[in-house]
């Protein structure tokens, strides 16, 4: 049996706006985009069998928080956090879910019962993503105020040793130095 073909059949997107310029939160963004996507492909909430939600700055269950309000209960919802690639990683995970042909389906609507799951074939999966950015530089948002190591500590050390560090946003330096490294290599 070959892999299932996977298609993107509906798309929805909120208007991009400057952080802080609109009074709304991520559940509002998700609602707007998901409703547009479902309208685009003429599907209903009940047609969706699994969902992925990509984001960076948010708690562990932001995907569930946003999608439960829309009626997506009783399906697996996967939160995907992979920095700038969160959205594309969520879309790729949806592709893998469909290609695998398997999904877990809750056979009861009672969220307190965890043993009632059946395996079925998955052919309609929702990929969703959001980011509610704060105003200001990313450097002010991604700190390690709780004392844990930053995920990019080793990268910053190598970059510092190779190109030096400057009083500029780290993210901008990382992308600029990646470009320099690419030019040196090729």
- Of the candidates 53, 111, 64, the one whose C-alpha atom is nearest the C-alpha of residue 86 is 53
Contact 60, 133 (CB under 8 A): no
| Domain locations in the chain as residue ranges | 26-129, 149-185
Q: What is the pTM of this model?
A: 0.73
Longest Cα–Cα distance in the chain: 58
The confidence score (pLDDT) of residue 133 equals 79
- pLDDT for 9 equals 93
The predicted structure's pLDDT at residue 103: 59
With the C-alpha atoms ordered 146, 147, 149, 152, is the resulting torsion angle positive or negative?
positive
The topology (CATH level 3) of 26-129 is Peroxisomal Thiolase; Chain A, domain 1 (3.40.47)
pLDDT score recorded for residue 152: 79
Q: What tokens appear for 20 in the block? A: 């802080």
Q: What local confidence, expressed as pLDDT, does residue 138 receive?
A: 60
pLDDT of residue 83: 85
pLDDT tens for the 186 residues of the chain, in order? 566 688 899 999 999 888 888 888 999 999 999 999 999 999 999 999 999 999 988 888 999 999 999 999 888 999 999 988 999 999 999 999 888 876 555 555 555 555 555 566 678 999 999 988 777 766 555 555 667 677 778 889 999 999 999 998 888 899 999 999 999 999
* 3-state DSSP of 123-164: CCEEEEECCCCCCCCHHHCCCCCCCCCCCCHHHHHHHHHHHC
């Amino acid at each position: 049996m070959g892999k299932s073909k996977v298609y993107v059949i509906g798309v929805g997107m909120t208007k991009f706006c400057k952080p802080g310029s609109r009074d709304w939160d991520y559940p509002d963004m998700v609602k707007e985009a998901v409703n547009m996507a479902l309208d685009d492909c003429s599907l209903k909430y009940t047609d969706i069998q699994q969902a992925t939600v990509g984001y960076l700055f948010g708690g562990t269950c932001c995907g569930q928080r946003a999608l439960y309000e829309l009626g997506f209960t009783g399906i697996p919802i996967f939160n995907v956090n992979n920095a700038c690639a969160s959205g594309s990683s969520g879309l790729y995970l949806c592709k893998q879910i469909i290609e695998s042909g398997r999904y877990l389906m809750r056979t009861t609507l009672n969220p307190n019962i965890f043993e009632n799951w059946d395996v079925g074939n998955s052919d309609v999966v929702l990929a969703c993503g959001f980011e509610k950015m704060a105003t200001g530089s990313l450097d002010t948002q991604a700190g390690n105020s709780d004392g844990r190591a930053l995920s990019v500590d080793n990268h910053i050390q190598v970059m510092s040793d190779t190109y030096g560090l400057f009083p500029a946003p780290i993210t901008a330096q990382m992308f600029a130095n990646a470009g320099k490294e690419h030019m040196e290599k090729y």
